[in-house]
Amino acid sequence: MAASEQPFQLSEATDQAMRQCVHCGLCLSSCPTYRELGTEMDSPRGRIYLVRALEENRIDPDEDAGPDVNAMNHLDLCLGCRACETACPSGVDYSEVLEGARAAAYETRLKRCSFTSRTMEKFLLQRVLPSRRLFGAFVGLLNFYNKSGLRELFDGLIPSRLRPLAAKAPELMGKPFHKNSENVYEARGERRGRVCFFSGCVMDGIMGDIHRDTIKVLIAQGIEVVVPKTQVCCGALHIHEGDRATAIALAQKNLWALDQVDGEFDAFVNNSAGCGAHMQKWGRLLADDEQFAEFAAEISAKTMDVTRYLVNKGLLPFPNPYFGAAAYDAPCHLHHAQKETEAPMQLLGEIKKFRLIELPNSDQCCGAAGSYTLTQPEMSERIFMGKLKALQEIKADLVVTGNPGCILQFRQGLARAGLDIEVKHPMQIAAAAAEI
């Protein structure tokens, strides 16, 4: 097998992260794909070996390394859930390894797709997600496609990587947030704090009600909320796919928007676990940027999940009860990436008549993982089966989870299984309890 003429180039940060791994194997049982497949190359340790082999030019990202062995296939199959980081005694930053490897092989990975899929993927990531207008039009087009009957006629013409997205269109019905938003929401009663709120792209476009509920809770808790109007997508999906250049450009646009905010703010809060985990790494992403490096580090330090901010402030009583029993499922990028394991449950625990039921595998990935449901639909569904089995064993009226991808994954999976269980964001429960 011929090695690549242009060696697989990793950054110094990625190389250092790999060198921290002592190959002990304690991460294996925490890895969803290893649990499903039982193959070394589909474990964090095995993937680090593959990345090292790519870096040393011993295998080629364009070619197979043996029977059923293609390094990029094994890297693509990783969810990036970061459960291995929680299990790792050496503190390996596995997300740096994965994102660095995908960035180094970005063009190679695109070449493995058909021309149509490659063009559509670039268009969606680089044009649609960063634009509220285009994203809204795209969601509207998908919904029209499903309702009009065109899907039955033309489904075979859609690139295979995009068919799962078209199938999800009925679940993408939701009111947008940003076009109806104000810039500043004043605190109710005595002001106890002031935050900037990140609205993002997917949540902004199809889950606007969750944003409105989040702001409702914040102002009821005495927090003034500023929503920068020129903010855009955070770039999390781009960095997961290896499109580092677009991720940097989006971070710069958001930092510019935050720099225009009048006055000081306590924190940069969000209600999307994946976005929050990525924005906490803006400081590292822009460390070499002469214009934004210092401000990026400052904003990363101020970025936190809205539940953590409220718990830190000290929760004011919620006036209303919320009758129900809920299974809380921890989003991976909140639990493992942000290491936020308590705040959502602490907040929900303050609501009268609301009962939390422990989901046995709450800290395990549900299989959503950003765009994973689109790129790896079969494995995504296999992993979700673990959640489904756990839910069937407990009596819960609803599932509560704090990430848009997880919400969509649960809604679709539960509907497919014929289970009448609602799926809500913690802020939806808190907003109902905060109503006056």
Residue 32 to residue 29: CA distance in whole angstroms? 8
Both 105 and 128 in a single domain? no
Tell me, yes or no, whether 51 lies in a domain: yes
Residue 283 near residue 300 (C-beta atoms within 8 A): yes
Contact of 204 with 234, CB cutoff 8 Å: no
- Look at the chain and count its residues: 436
Q: Per DSSP, what are the bridge partners of residue 159?
A: none
Average pLDDT, the chain: 85
Whether residue 143 sits in one domain with residue 191: no
- CB 262, CB 392: distance < 8 Å: no
- The one-letter amino acid code at 270 reads N
User: How much is the pLDDT for 165?
Assistant: 54
Round to whole Å and give the CA distance between 203 and 306: 14
> 385 lies in a domain?
yes
Q: Return left, alpha or beta for 24; rule: phi > 0 is left, psi -120 to 50 is alpha, else beta.
A: alpha
How many domains does the chain divide into? 4
Task: Kindly state the DSSP code that residue 183 receives in the 8-state scheme.
Answer: S
End-of-domain residue from the set 261, 289, 311: 311
Decide which of 311, 336, 358 is a domain's last residue: 311
Residues 272 and 329 in one domain: no
Cβ atoms of residues 268 and 198 within 8 Å: yes
> Containing domain of residue 144, as a range?
118-172
191 shares a domain with 165: no
φ/ψ of residue 244, rounded to 5: -65, -40
Domain shared by 55 and 80, yes or no: yes
**pLDDT for residue 3:** 45
Q: How far apart are CA 80 and CA 368, in angstroms?
A: 10
Look at residue 10 in the predicted model and tell me its pLDDT: 85
CA angle, residues 84, 358, 314, in degrees to nearest 5 = 90
Same domain, 235 and 294: yes
The answer to whether residue 5 sits within a structural domain is: no
Query: What pLDDT does 67 receive?
Result: 45
User: How remote is the C-alpha of 378 from its chain's centroid?
Assistant: 19
Specify whether the CB–CB gap between 415 and 386 falls below 8 A.
no
Of 287, 311, 335, the residue at which a domain comes to its end is: 311
Q: What is the pLDDT of residue 267?
A: 97
Given a contact cutoff of 8 angstroms between Cβ atoms, the answer to whether 398 and 326 are in contact is yes
In this prediction, the residues of the chain whose per-residue pLDDT falls under 70 are 1-7, 61-69, 107-122, 143-174, 179-182, 436
Q: Is 4 part of a structural domain of the chain? A: no
Q: Which residues pair with 267 in a beta bridge?
A: 195
Per-residue confidence (pLDDT) for residue 1, from 0 to 100:
39
63 lies in the same domain as 159: no
Q: Is the domain of 27 the same as that of 49?
A: yes
- Written as six digits, the tokens of 168 are 């999800």
Q: What's 379's DSSP letter?
A: H
Q: Scanning the structure block, which residue is given the tokens 């000290």?
A: 314
Same domain, 182 and 272: yes
Is 2 part of a structural domain of the chain? no
Whether residue 274 is found in the same domain as residue 348? no
User: Is residue 337 in some structural domain?
Assistant: yes
Same domain, yes or no: 323 and 301: no
In a domain, 7, yes or no: no
Which string of b and e fits 7-26 if b means at least 16 CB within 10 Å? Answer: ebebeeebbebbeebeeeee
Kindly state whether residues 209 and 304 are assigned to the same domain. yes
In a domain, 329, yes or no: yes
Indicate which CATH number applies to the domain containing 349: 3.40.50.1860
